[in-house]
Chains A and B, each alone.
Chain A
Amino acid sequence: MRKVITGNVAVAYGAMLSDVQVVAAYPITPQTTIIEELATMQAEGLVDFDYIRVESEHSAMAACIGAEMGGARAFTATCGQGLFLMHEMLHYAAGARTPVVLANVNRAAAAPWSIWSDQTDSVSQRETGWIQLYCEGNQEVLDTTIMAFKIAERLRLPAMVVLDAFFLSHTSEPVDIPEKERVRDFLPPIDPGENWLDPDNPRTFGGITMNDAYMEFRWQIQRDMEKAKGIITEVHEDFAQAFGRTYRQVEEYRAQDTELVLVVSGTVASTARDAVDYLREKGKGVGMVKLKTLRPFPREEVIETLKGKKKVAVIDRNFSPGATGVWAQEVRSALYDLPEAQRPLIYGYVAGIGGRDISVKTIEEIYTKTLEDAEPDDVDMWVGVNYV
């Protein structure tokens, strides 16, 4: 079935088709229409789950962790301040090895208030032990939500589906909605194994560890995050087989035969595709690389894809005050290990903060600056700021 739906409705379809068993959620703009849609779907009998209308995002994540400890598949959605409030529980979910799936609609951080898009909320959760999957369009949002459950449950690590506020959350696009039966074939019911509060097998979870044990628990998370790279690829391949749509952690677009590439994530990728086509028509040599996963960071694939390029322009719709855009940090860190002859110059651009538009023209400016400047002026270059 093909429908014209917003990114938020696509998330709700993803959760509904995944037969989610417990939803715990709290309203926040621009996420709210996800949990409204789920309430409607539940009321209309399209899906049967327990809906805990909690009093905060912090409790939403706590209840999801509880639900997973009870052996059920749990889901929540939030954005911006809500994700910041959850921060403690994001660490907790990963530490407790509860495969919660969360949709985060990227929203800028207050103060001052802004409901518009940037990635500061999700990139701030980089160290929490969550898998982070960024989406470019509404089809990818729906598909990624379904895949997120499969990835998370295979690894027993939580997964975040990330979509831009308004550019996706409130923008309608035609989306192919898979049949529930086919999704059920792709995504079996959750199997918590021994990892739940089974009265017949009483165990204590998450108790105090001394310094002879804690590090091993953390190492297991790191080990499984490394494993996640392969599992995400496998799930992408299974999904392509089942539904005919292909996703990659690192996707190239007309980037193989160019010396200069743009590295982007989220909806900037779709604008960058147009910008690349436009510039190519004008005879300019430019390609694009879209990164889907921030955690685990697909280091090996990034190295393989970017080695030997002359210049790499990373566009970050986020930044880390006192350092640089986060994707630029990651790309720099990955490429540092290349021998100098194969190591591209990295041009880090911060753009589109707080939902400011990143247009084809913005990307053209970034391209031109990268092409013309023999080396970057600074580790971080802000695009389109009126310096006041």
Chain B
Amino acid sequence: MYSVNQRFDNQYIPEQELLTSGNLACAGCGASLSMRLALKALGKPTVLAVPACCWTIIPGAFPRSIMEVPFFNCAFETTAATISGIKAAFRRRGMGEICVVGWAGDGGTLDIGIQALSGAAERNEDVVYICYDNEAYMNTGIQRSSATPRGSWTTTTPVKNPKSEPKKDIDEIMIAHKIPYLATATAAYPHDMIAKLKKARTIKGTRFIHLFSSCPTGWRMPENLSIEVMRLAVLTNLFPLYEVEHAEVYRQTVVPEEIKPVEEYIRLQGRFRHLTEEDLRELQSMVDKRFASLKEKFEKSEALK
């Protein structure tokens, strides 16, 4: 069905678990699986700062926590500034080897947190910033964010007036900051995701990981489709998996053998149920256009080698 670049084929999934059982995520939550895999890849010593998002709730309410790494709940818009401060403290205290990670949703990253993120990226803070993108404010009950795709239903973009604007291109925004490493990933391709996070850990400076993360509750689909839908996002080129080094070398890390129509991805999710044939054609053409421009970058980078 798909091929994976040889580089990442032989990555194993570490056995170490840095989350205990008993999390409060919804069934089929892409975000909880993403965290589990991310921590396996990053390992210890790692500390996390997490703003308001589903991951405020998932670890459990005080005094319980499933986290086996230090975890600081920071204010919504402050993830990147908070981790800048944490890293500075560790540097001062001779603990520079601790991996400092910000973990925020799409609202906390593309919307309210983008100023602090842009500031940190411009300063090239030595941190890993991970955005788990489920394309809406899921924790508050499925409201539109700037990561919500065009045409999607949310509770603030009802079916009679669905979102009309395309998703904000956070990846190109981050690349424009000339950060040393950016990668897209999804838990549906765990080997690829783990390889990227392991690589990110070894790089100095601001590393940005964009995780495509399913939300059966908000996407209005059965939870057993969680992985399949994330995988289809990749196989339709809607969410291509690639990495960018030094903001110029683009490399597609998972190359689907056969590109599937976007419709296959769309039709599994209730949030798109109202879309017409024409809407679908429009969406398909947007996906094709965006991928074509990315493909040019992949090819240009390949030619540079």
- Listed in ascending order, the chain A residues whose CB lies under 8 Å from chain B are 21-22, 24, 49-50, 52-56, 58-60, 62-72, 74, 88-89, 92, 196-210, 213
Given A56-B119, A69-B85, 20 new contacts (CB under 8 A): A50-B89, A55-B118, A58-B77, A58-B78, A59-B84, A60-B81, A66-B83, A66-B87, A69-B89, A70-B87, A71-B93, A72-B89, A199-B98, A202-B71, A204-B62, A204-B67, A206-B72, A207-B62, A207-B71, A208-B56
Distance (whole angstroms) from the CB of A53 to the closest CB of chain B = 7
In the assembled complex, the Cα of A112 lies from the Cα of B135 at a distance in Å of: 40
B74 within 8 A of A: yes
B284 within 8 A of A: no
Distance (whole angstroms) from the CB of B251 to the closest CB of chain A = 30
In the assembled complex, the Cα of A201 lies from the Cα of B71 at a distance in Å of: 11
Contacts of A206 in B (CB 8 A): 72-74
Q: In the complex, are the beta carbons of A52 and B56 less than 8 A apart?
A: no
Distance (whole angstroms) from the CB of A348 to the closest CB of chain B = 36
Q: In the complex, are the beta carbons of B78 and A62 less than 8 A apart?
A: yes
Chain A's closest residue to B45 (CB) is A199
Q: How large is the interface on B (under 10, 10 to 19, 20 to 34, 35 or more residues)?
A: 35 or more
Q: In the complex, are the beta carbons of A65 and B123 less than 8 A apart?
A: no
List, sorted by A's number, 13 A–B pairs whose CB atoms are closer than 8 Å. Answer: A62-B81, A64-B85, A67-B88, A68-B89, A69-B82, A70-B89, A70-B90, A70-B92, A88-B75, A197-B70, A204-B67, A206-B72, A208-B73
Most chain B CB within a 10 A radius of its CB, from A59, A64, A197, A206: A197
Q: In the complex, are the beta carbons of B85 and A66 less than 8 A apart?
A: yes
In the assembled complex, the Cα of A124 lies from the Cα of B62 at a distance in Å of: 31
Q: In the complex, are the beta carbons of A55 and B49 less than 8 A apart?
A: no
Contacts of A202 in B (CB 8 A): 67-71
Q: In the complex, are the beta carbons of A70 and B86 less than 8 A apart?
A: yes
Q: In the complex, are the beta carbons of B85 and A22 less than 8 A apart?
A: yes
Contacts of A66 in B (CB 8 A): 49, 72, 74, 81-89
In the assembled complex, the Cα of A63 lies from the Cα of B84 at a distance in Å of: 6
In the assembled complex, the Cα of A63 lies from the Cα of B62 at a distance in Å of: 24
B61 within 8 A of A: yes
Q: Nearest 7 A-B pairs (CB), nearest first?
A: A70-B89, A66-B85, A55-B119, A72-B89, A62-B78, A63-B85, A199-B45
Determine which of B62, B65, B85 lies in contact with A65 in the assembled complex, contact meaning CB atoms within 8 Å: B85
Determine which of A50, A54, A203 lies in contact with B70 in the assembled complex, contact meaning CB atoms within 8 Å: A203
In the assembled complex, the Cα of A213 lies from the Cα of B56 at a distance in Å of: 16
Q: In the complex, are the beta carbons of B44 and A69 less than 8 A apart?
A: no
In the assembled complex, the Cα of A207 lies from the Cα of B83 at a distance in Å of: 17
Q: In the complex, are the beta carbons of B75 and A207 less than 8 A apart?
A: no
Contacts of A205 in B (CB 8 A): 70-73
Q: In the complex, are the beta carbons of A55 and B73 less than 8 A apart?
A: no
Q: In the complex, are the beta carbons of A208 and B72 less than 8 A apart?
A: no
Q: In the complex, are the beta carbons of A199 and B85 less than 8 A apart?
A: no
Q: In the complex, are the beta carbons of A67 and B70 less than 8 A apart?
A: no
Q: In the complex, are the beta carbons of A72 and B122 less than 8 A apart?
A: no
- Listed in ascending order, the chain B residues whose CB lies under 8 Å from chain A are 44-47, 49, 56-57, 59-63, 65, 67-75, 77-78, 80-93, 98, 115-116, 118-119, 122-123
Q: In the complex, are the beta carbons of B71 and A199 less than 8 A apart?
A: no
Q: In the complex, are the beta carbons of B86 and A67 less than 8 A apart?
A: yes
Known: A22-B92, A55-B122, A213-B62. A208 touches B57 (CB 8 A): yes
Determine which of A21, A198, A207 lies in contact with B92 in the assembled complex, contact meaning CB atoms within 8 Å: A21
In the assembled complex, the Cα of A49 lies from the Cα of B86 at a distance in Å of: 13
In the assembled complex, the Cα of A298 lies from the Cα of B75 at a distance in Å of: 31
Determine which of A60, A70, A74, A208 lies in contact with B61 in the assembled complex, contact meaning CB atoms within 8 Å: A208
Contacts of A74 in B (CB 8 A): 85, 89
In the assembled complex, the Cα of A209 lies from the Cα of B57 at a distance in Å of: 10
Determine which of A24, A56, A70, A207 lies in contact with B59 in the assembled complex, contact meaning CB atoms within 8 Å: A207
Q: In the complex, are the beta carbons of A89 and B88 less than 8 A apart?
A: no
Contacts of A62 in B (CB 8 A): 74-75, 78, 81-82, 85, 116
Distance (whole angstroms) from the CB of B122 to the closest CB of chain A = 7
Chain B's closest residue to A100 (CB) is B85
Known: A52-B85, A54-B81, A71-B89. A92 touches B75 (CB 8 A): yes
Q: In the complex, are the beta carbons of A52 and B57 less than 8 A apart?
A: no
Q: In the complex, are the beta carbons of B88 and A22 less than 8 A apart?
A: yes
Contacts of B122 in A (CB 8 A): 55
Contacts of B72 in A (CB 8 A): 66, 69, 197, 205-206
Chain A's closest residue to B70 (CB) is A197
In the assembled complex, the Cα of A56 lies from the Cα of B77 at a distance in Å of: 12
Q: In the complex, are the beta carbons of B84 and A24 less than 8 A apart?
A: yes
Distance (whole angstroms) from the CB of B144 to the closest CB of chain A = 23
Q: In the complex, are the beta carbons of B61 and A54 less than 8 A apart?
A: no
Chain B's closest residue to A53 (CB) is B123
In the assembled complex, the Cα of A50 lies from the Cα of B72 at a distance in Å of: 21
Q: In the complex, are the beta carbons of A56 and B93 less than 8 A apart?
A: no
Most chain A CB within a 10 A radius of its CB, from B71, B82, B85, B86: B85
Contacts of B59 in A (CB 8 A): 204, 207
Distance (whole angstroms) from the CB of A54 to the closest CB of chain B = 6
Distance (whole angstroms) from the CB of B180 to the closest CB of chain A = 19
Contacts of A21 in B (CB 8 A): 88-89, 92-93
Q: In the complex, are the beta carbons of A72 and B88 less than 8 A apart?
A: yes
Q: In the complex, are the beta carbons of B62 and A22 less than 8 A apart?
A: no
Distance (whole angstroms) from the CB of B51 to the closest CB of chain A = 10
In the assembled complex, the Cα of A207 lies from the Cα of B80 at a distance in Å of: 18
Contacts of B92 in A (CB 8 A): 21-22, 49-50, 70, 72
In the assembled complex, the Cα of A88 lies from the Cα of B118 at a distance in Å of: 20
Contacts of B69 in A (CB 8 A): 199, 202
In the assembled complex, the Cα of A68 lies from the Cα of B68 at a distance in Å of: 21
